[in-house]
Structure 1
Amino acid sequence: MRVWVSGYRSYELGVFGTESTKLKILKKALSENLVQLLDEGMDWLITGAQLGTEQWAISVAHTLQSTYPALQTAVMLPFSDCGKNWNEANQTALALVRSQATFSAAITERPYHSVQQLRQYQQFMLTHTDRALFIYDSQAPGKVQYDIRAIEQWQTQHDYPLRLIDFDDLQETANNLAAEQENGLQAD
């Protein structure tokens, strides 16, 4: 089973830095959902390289590979120069994520020239995956709404399950994480 994982960009969620409480919650929610998918037969996690959910997914998957060594990961870029205009820190993060992936390539070897390349990217992801996992809430569409719309259109003619981690799910994860931490402190 090949799963397309995506969702919000880091700035859309107000997540800055690697030690953010929000980031811990997001990664825990991703981890829990990925473990469920692994138990259901996922063997490939396929994502892009956007700052936020996509890079976090590769990081979480990289951690899970010690328990699930058969898990393969792919970082697919929509065009060859993806990330070239990012600042140095973000380009370093992109390089790290690509190095952690089992496979990484661009959908097209051309640099960015048209929004059509993003549509080709969506088409590639839909035809090379069996289902999707997105961090997304319809109350806050963000840029990921375009991928959600493409999936919904695809679902009209294909069996393509979409699992969403919405804001209620993230709140539940935050509550569970807080309870775990509180129980850990009480045990000390």
Structure 2
Amino acid sequence: MNVKSITITGYKPHELNIFTDNDEKVVIIKEALKRRLVDYLNDGLEWVVLSGQQGVETWAFDIVQDLKEIYPVKIALIPPFLEQESIWKEDKQTKYQQMIQLADFYQPLSQKKYENPKQYFVKNKWLIEKTDGCILLYEEEFGGSPQYFYDLILKYQEQHEYNVTIINSFDLNDLAREMQEWESHEDV
């Protein structure tokens, strides 16, 4: 399957017990995202489409910005509604505003502010239908907020081809070990 556009999503920081952006777990998650993204980019990926939620999507945005120096990839920021960041802490709001400025395309799905949880369902469905695949940081046994996205993907895949790359705790643990070994060789 020729994948020209993907979305990247997964857990919010609190679901991963991450409370600062300099947490070691963020470094590992970003490296895992980067490796999967590079695979897609080498196969012709053109667009990464994000809703801009905190956590995996914010970290993915940073990775794509870095990779833009090497690859001709574009990033679209499509939040579910206007001012999704209005209830976030000030530093997160500032980061989100920077993302809007740096995105190649920005357009909220709804021209209204938050009304109800259905707006998140509509966003998830839209992201799946408008992309060729996704990278999902997700743990089936844990569930959490990505469960809704994952369930929609399974339903969508019953009728459509859709490429899914899941990053789970085993992948992250392997990568953490690999990165530790690499660092310990550097120290020698």
Q: Which residue of the partner structure matches residue 49 of structure 2? A: 46
Q: Which residue of the partner structure matches residue 182 of structure 1? A: 184
In the alignment, the residues of structure 1 paired with residue 107 and residue 184 of structure 2 have an alpha-carbon distance, to the nearest angstrom, of: 43
SS in 1 for 2:112: coil
Q: Which residue of the partner structure matches residue 103 of structure 2? A: 101
In the alignment, the residues of structure 2 paired with residue 71 and residue 39 of structure 1 have an alpha-carbon distance, to the nearest angstrom, of: 11
Q: Which residue of the partner structure matches residue 58 of structure 1? A: 61
Percent identity over the alignment is: 26
SS in 1 for 2:85: coil
In the alignment, the residues of structure 1 paired with residue 58 and residue 103 of structure 2 have an alpha-carbon distance, to the nearest angstrom, of: 10
Give yes or no for the alignment of 1:5 onto 2:8.
yes
In the alignment, the residues of structure 2 paired with residue 18 and residue 78 of structure 1 have an alpha-carbon distance, to the nearest angstrom, of: 24
**For this pair of structures, how many residues does the alignment match?**
185
TM-score (norm 2): 0.95
TM-score (norm 1): 0.95
Q: What's the CA shift string for 1:79-135, capped at 9, x where partnerless?
A: 112111112111111112222221122001011112222222122112210011101
Which portions of structure 1, spanning 4 or more consecutive aligned residues, are displaced by more than 3 angstroms?
none
Contact 1:5 1:132 in 2 (8 A): yes
Gaps of 5+ in 1: none
In the alignment, the residues of structure 1 paired with residue 18 and residue 46 of structure 2 have an alpha-carbon distance, to the nearest angstrom, of: 29
Q: 1:29 deviation in Å?
A: 0.4
Contact 1:58 1:100 in 2 (8 A): no
RMSD of aligned residue pairs (Cα, Å): 1.0
Gaps of 5+ in 2: none
Look up the equivalent residue of 2:86 and give its one-letter code.
Answer: K
SS in 2 for 1:66: coil
In the alignment, the residues of structure 1 paired with residue 113 and residue 10 of structure 2 have an alpha-carbon distance, to the nearest angstrom, of: 23
